[in-house]
Amino acid sequence: MKITRALKCQIMFPNARGKDLLGKEGLLYALAQAMGEATDAANRAVTALWALEEGVFHRPPHPTKAGKFLSSDTLAYQCFSGKWQPTGEPMYRPKGRGLAGAVKRNLGKHVAKRLKTDLKALRRGKQALPHFKLLPLIISGSAVSISPDGRFTLQVWEGTDKKNNRIVVKPVNLPHGQKDILSRIISRIISGEYKMGDVKVYKDRRKDKWMMSVAWTGEVKAVTNGNLVAGLDLGIVTTATITYIDRDTGEKIEGYDLVNIPKTTIRAWNRVTREQRERFKFNRDEYDQRTGKGRGRKLRVVQAISDKKGRLVDSAIKETAAAVVRVCQRRGVTTLVMENLTGITDEKLRDYEALETNRQRAAARKWFLQWQQGALRSAIKTALEGAGIEVIIIDPAYTSKRCSECGIIWSSTGKTEIAKKLGLPVADLVVQKPTDSLGRVSQSKFKCSCGPEQHADRNAGYNIARTGVPLSGIPSKQDVAA
């Protein structure tokens, strides 16, 4: 199994003396200036590419292929190279040292990818045109060399002189665990076991430190000594519900596992939240009495509390992901299936209406939105793949409305629309309209006409597992009729 990982760390410039780093002729000034000029060019490129998509500009033809037009990726790179100038002026106009061609190419790819991601939302008027505040310098792995002592040589500037177009950086202030990880990765990259990925160099303006993100790709031995497929349902009240089916038959495996955010972390979160609320109230009261005094001190205190909350969130996400991995390893899971819940926040919020009290709805909304579901899914996927467990992402359509025993879908939506959404023949679906006592009757209860009441999260977990892996045991319309 091939995986790609990245590590972020602070860097220093070991080959540069103080006078070579500081001042308008120094390396740090040149890097900051290059990042600023690249960011300005990226914002002009986004505007030009958006105008191109809307038909304001004519797409240039391909110079070597008759009847073909240049792609957005190529045009994004040409925004930095100066070959495409729809307004008659180059978008990238460096006053200082120019960036290497590979760096400009990577920046172009980044701009084109960002616009492509936001294109649908832009056309619907749900989002403004992307604006970059400060882009990192992205160096391709082929332009990076590593020495055994941990120094990275990066080709950043244009030109062919190897002494003048490269900079040397070294990771510093790494925690003990990250230091060991980076040491192993460097040795495997040098030996050829792992392949070097992109390196991003940027400045953390809040901490006033130069940082680097190092990516690599390697092979992880896949887990094969098991026959279980797990379905992971991320819920509103319970963080994660994990159910299991047999890969060959599709039959349910007795037993399930629940993973929740650690209670100690929740208590710490509540404590810091109260502290933040009190600090905001104190600042408001003090502001009424002494306008303009102590602003810097107040901001430092508030920022420290926000940083503490951020660390708690990161800790909760990592602990939850590690717990999911331990559960899957103990059960002998080879494949885990989970839903792609991107953009499903509104649907989840509608589920709060099924909770019994306003207090429950408020608590559920707080935890669901504040614990960053996207980051949690990404952390779980990363941790599982690192352990050799395959991860499959599926569309969540109707996983919580289908009965895992007989296959009936309890929904008011028409059968034709459901079949189109699921990509299945209409004849293979059995759809019933939900009632007060049948279907998803509450946030935690699912009741079907074929049998006893089930927990809604566990029912969804079985459906998720069966949707991700083709199985012979999935109930069919003929089975339901029989």
Render pLDDT for 223-275 as a digit per residue (tens, 0 to 9).
777 788 999 988 767 788 999 998 888 788 888 899 888 778 878 878 888 88
Q: Residue 352 carries which side chain, given as an amino acid letter?
A: Y
> Residue 270 CA to chain centroid, in angstroms?
26
In whole angstroms, give the CA distance from residue 324 to residue 328.
6
Q: Domain residues of the chain, as ranges?
A: 2-219, 223-259+331-482
In whole angstroms, give the CA distance from residue 91 to residue 84.
9
Residue where the block lists tokens 């990066």 = 154
Non-local (6+) Cβ contacts of 9 within 8 A are 171, 172, 173, 174, 178, 182, 211, 212, 213, 214
In whole angstroms, give the CA distance from residue 146 to residue 368.
42
The predicted pLDDT at position 10 comes to 92
The predicted pLDDT at position 479 comes to 41
CA distances from 183 to 7, 143, 198 (A): 12, 20, 18
Strand order from edge to edge, sheet including 152-155: 137-139, 195-204, 209-219, 2-12, 166-172, 152-155, 144-146
The predicted pLDDT at position 315 comes to 84
Burial (CB count within 10 angstroms: exposed 0-12, middle 13-18, buried 19+), residue 125: exposed
Which CATH number does 223-259+331-482 carry? 3.30.420
Beta bridge partners of 337: 231, 392
In whole angstroms, give the CA distance from residue 328 to residue 170.
37
In whole angstroms, give the CA distance from residue 167 to residue 144.
10
Specify the long-range contacts of residues 306-311, CB closer than 8 Å, at least 24 apart. 306/276, 308/272, 309/269, 309/272, 309/273, 309/276
In whole angstroms, give the CA distance from residue 427 to residue 133.
52
The predicted pLDDT at position 298 comes to 64
3-state helix, strand, coil in the chain (%, to 5): 45, 20, 35
3-state secondary structure of 58: coil
In whole angstroms, give the CA distance from residue 48 to residue 86.
7
Strands 333-339 vs 390-394: parallel, antiparallel or unpaired: parallel
Q: Which residues of the chain have pLDDT under 70?
A: 236, 282-299, 342-371, 470-482
Give the closest residue to 388 by CA, choosing from 83, 3, 84, 23: 3
**Backbone dihedral angles phi then psi of residue 410, each to the nearest 5 degrees:** -95, 95
The predicted pLDDT at position 354 comes to 54
Q: What are the DSSP E strand ranges found in 285-367?
A: 333-339
Q: Cβ of 164: how many Cβ atoms within 10 Å?
A: 10
Burial (CB count within 10 angstroms: exposed 0-12, middle 13-18, buried 19+), residue 42: buried
pTM above 0.85, yes or no: no
Strands 166-172 vs 431-432: parallel, antiparallel or unpaired: unpaired
